[in-house]
Chain A
Amino acid sequence: MAWFTDRHFFLLAVSLYGLCAVHSVFLWRKGFRRDDHVIFFLLLAGFALHTTAMFKRGLRLDACPVNNLYEATTFLLWALALACLAVGLLPRLKFLGAFASPVLFAVGVFALMPSLDPPHGPKPDFSNWLTSLHAATILLAYGALGLGAVAAGMFLLQRRNLKEHKVSAVLSVFPSIQRLEMISARLVFAGFVLFTVGLAAGHELPRKADVSFFFDPKVLWSVLMWLVYLELQVAHKFFGRSSRNFAVGVIVAFVFLLLTFWITNLDSPLHHP
């Protein structure tokens, strides 16, 4: 089984996320009328394979596997799947997986592009604990922000159904929209805190003398994302921004994050010394 690499395990995990997404379409068509365990267990099986893939890569590198875009993306998706499974244990929240699985599948397929996983050069240096802290907190933050966007999506769907007097709003076993809004806001806050810690840890990391921290494209992008999430929360909490606009903002911000983080990563001298 030596030929069965960590990428194969990840491929299987992405396939299960895909199955989960297909099953979600059927649940959507049925109006999410019954609590569904299939989604949860498909996600759990995918997560187990996903963890095995990361574990194998970590053992091969003998280090935390977040050194190229493939690894960073798999870590991000792992954090998102973990958050989904944890929150999915709460009553009426198993359907988070139905909303998250299309994201896990699409980004997983993207991560499998060979160009994102070039052969490793010198063995990455994770002797500094701050490096591990930086990588782990940033990627967990992405996971929390992603799940916040998923909960915001559920909120918007349920809100629209209630507004339009669709019977599916009442027949579905979704939580109340107030609870969905609260879950989304708390996940965004948790992601924001982790993001802040990750950025602060990144600032303290040793770097070459000729590389500027504050003018690095990835740092500038991260600061922009940090400000976007700060604005979203402050406007919602203190300036009465409507729940709908907050939810739309959370989704747009995460889609922007997903679409741009790999560009800035590739373009960052700090991340590609």
Chain B
Amino acid sequence: MAGAGGAGFAGALRVEPSTFNLQSSTLISVVVIGLNHRTSPVELRERFAFADEKIPGALQALRESGVASEAVILSTCNRVEIYAATASAPEAAFAGLKKFLVTHHAFDGPLNDELYTFAEPQSLQHLFKVASGLDSMVVGETEIFGQLKQAYELALAHQHTGARLNRAFQRAFNVAKHIRTETNIQRGSVSVMSAAVELAEKIFSSLARHEVLVIGAGETSEKTARALQSRGVKKITVTNRSPERAAALAAELGGRAVPFENWPEEFERIDIAISSTAAPQHILDRAKLEPLMKRRRNRPLLLIDLAVPRDIDPAVNALDNVYLYNVDDLQSVADDYLNLRKEEIVRCEKIIAEKVAALLEANKFSDADGRGR
């Protein structure tokens, strides 16, 4: 996906220092140029993506072009961004960075609002937001933190960062950690699978002691079972109309398979059932479950119905100790968590604004000492 990067670009992009106001008296500032999931479709993002192995060469070319004295390239499936420290005026730097991006990727299509640019202090605010997951597609996700760290370490290892970007990125990582511990931005489950796991933990003291029955060996139920396994579930039983498919999934999950006609007998032992068959009508209703609950001596039972049309009659939820959640219920839990995270954004932005102000203040002092260049 990456273009023909390399040192050759340096010559093509080299611009006279005067164009970028590279005067010794000019202070270095951090600027950002990029495109992300909000501003551009995947077709465009993949055109501008940098392959990991080509990033050091691209950074070298960018610095040699004179556009930036320090640079970090972040390239993920949702964003491509260049963080640069430059002595140029922001507008000139943005023009140079845009030219670099277009030339590096040999892009000849039109570009309008897809690219965004930030100068200080917005550039630092943007960096802190990205590190904290505030700018991610799923607000508060943590994967971006690792990706940003990796991008920074790659640039650092190839000596493409200096005092300005080192300080900015170190602060960004600290702020992200601070936000993670002080706010609810990363709290809760934002997918159906993890919402199911969280529900199970609200019902049972320890998932390790409880057995799960997977009815219907579909992909969603498999993912949910795996999510439960990751939180301690040890025993999994799988049943499916096709015994081969049941046996295959049971083997994958390290569980056992039972014939489809025998699954009601498992209810005496299991405490969580995940159902996602293609049955056109309910496979479990109140009349069927009531006697099974008596045999369970009223132990709680969590039923997760991921099938559409639904496998489990909603009336069973009226039974004592039965907790039934269908795919919409779980989605609603996930959506509520997402809303909770969004409510936290204001708190996070306040923290970020304070930290950016502190960083700019620190930069001012080091500029005065002559250490920030």
A binds B: yes
Question: For the complex, is B332 an interface residue (Cβ under 8 Å from A)?
Answer: yes
Contact with B along A1-44 (1 / 0, CB 8 A): 00000000000000000000000000000000110000000000
Contact with A along B195-211 (1 / 0, CB 8 A): 10011011111000000
Contact A178 B300 (CB under 8 A): yes
Question: For the complex, is B340 an interface residue (Cβ under 8 Å from A)?
Answer: yes
| A167 to B, closest residue via Cβ | B336
Stretch from B1-9, B257-265, B318-326, B358-366 contacting the other chain: B318-326
Query: Size of chain A's interface in residues, with CB distance under 8 A?
Result: 22
- Picked from A158, A170, A174, A178, the residue with its CB within 8 Å of the CB of B198 is A170
Query: Size of chain B's interface in residues, with CB distance under 8 A?
Result: 26
Given the complex of chains A and B, what is the CA–CA distance between A244 and B298 in angstroms? 10
Given the complex of chains A and B, what is the CA–CA distance between A163 and B199 in angstroms? 11
Contacts of A162 in B (CB 8 A): 199, 202-203, 323
Top-10 shortest CB links A-B = A167-B336, A242-B320, A179-B205, A178-B205, A165-B329, A240-B297, A242-B298, A176-B205, A178-B204, A170-B333
Question: For the complex, is A177 an interface residue (Cβ under 8 Å from B)?
Answer: yes
Contacts of B329 in A (CB 8 A): 165
Given the complex of chains A and B, what is the CA–CA distance between A171 and B329 in angstroms? 14
Given the complex of chains A and B, what is the CA–CA distance between A151 and B228 in angstroms? 27
Question: For the complex, is B350 an interface residue (Cβ under 8 Å from A)?
Answer: no
Contact with B along A229-246 (1 / 0, CB 8 A): 000000000001111100
Question: For the complex, is B317 an interface residue (Cβ under 8 Å from A)?
Answer: yes
| A180 to B, closest residue via Cβ | B205
Question: For the complex, is A79 an interface residue (Cβ under 8 Å from B)?
Answer: no
Question: For the complex, is A182 an interface residue (Cβ under 8 Å from B)?
Answer: yes
Given the complex of chains A and B, what is the CA–CA distance between A182 and B204 in angstroms? 11
Query: Chain A's nearest CB lies how many Å from the CB of B23?
Result: 52
Question: For the complex, is B188 an interface residue (Cβ under 8 Å from A)?
Answer: yes
- Picked from B188, B205, B317, the residue with its CB within 8 Å of the CB of A170 is B188
Contact B332 A165 (CB under 8 A): yes
Contact B202 A177 (CB under 8 A): yes
Contact B336 A171 (CB under 8 A): yes
| A244 to B, closest residue via Cβ | B320
Contacts of B188 in A (CB 8 A): 170-171
Contact A240 B202 (CB under 8 A): no
Contact B205 A158 (CB under 8 A): no
Contact A240 B298 (CB under 8 A): yes
Question: For the complex, is A53 an interface residue (Cβ under 8 Å from B)?
Answer: no
Question: For the complex, is A54 an interface residue (Cβ under 8 Å from B)?
Answer: no
- Picked from B203, B320, B323, B332, the residue with its CB within 8 Å of the CB of A167 is B332
Given the complex of chains A and B, what is the CA–CA distance between A163 and B337 in angstroms? 18
Given the complex of chains A and B, what is the CA–CA distance between A170 and B325 in angstroms? 13
Contacts of A244 in B (CB 8 A): 320-321
Contacts of A169 in B (CB 8 A): 202
Contact B294 A240 (CB under 8 A): yes
Query: Chain A's nearest CB lies how many Å from the CB of B347?
Result: 13
Contacts of B184 in A (CB 8 A): 33-34
Contacts of A163 in B (CB 8 A): 317, 323
Contacts of A242 in B (CB 8 A): 298, 320-321
Contacts of A165 in B (CB 8 A): 325, 329, 332-333
| B209 to A, closest residue via Cβ | A178
| B326 to A, closest residue via Cβ | A165
Query: Chain A's nearest CB lies how many Å from the CB of B333?
Result: 5
Query: Chain B's nearest CB lies how many Å from the CB of A192?
Result: 21
- Counting chain B CB atoms within 10 Å of each CB, the highest count among A178, A240, A244 belongs to A178
Contact with A along B151-192 (1 / 0, CB 8 A): 000000000000000000000000000000000100011000
Contacts of B337 in A (CB 8 A): 170-171
Given the complex of chains A and B, what is the CA–CA distance between A177 and B205 in angstroms? 8
Contacts of A175 in B (CB 8 A): 205
Given the complex of chains A and B, what is the CA–CA distance between A182 and B201 in angstroms? 15
Contact A176 B201 (CB under 8 A): yes
A-B contact pairs, 14 of them (CB 8 A): A162-B323, A163-B317, A165-B325, A169-B202, A170-B336, A171-B188, A171-B336, A176-B202, A178-B203, A178-B205, A240-B298, A243-B300, A243-B320, A244-B321
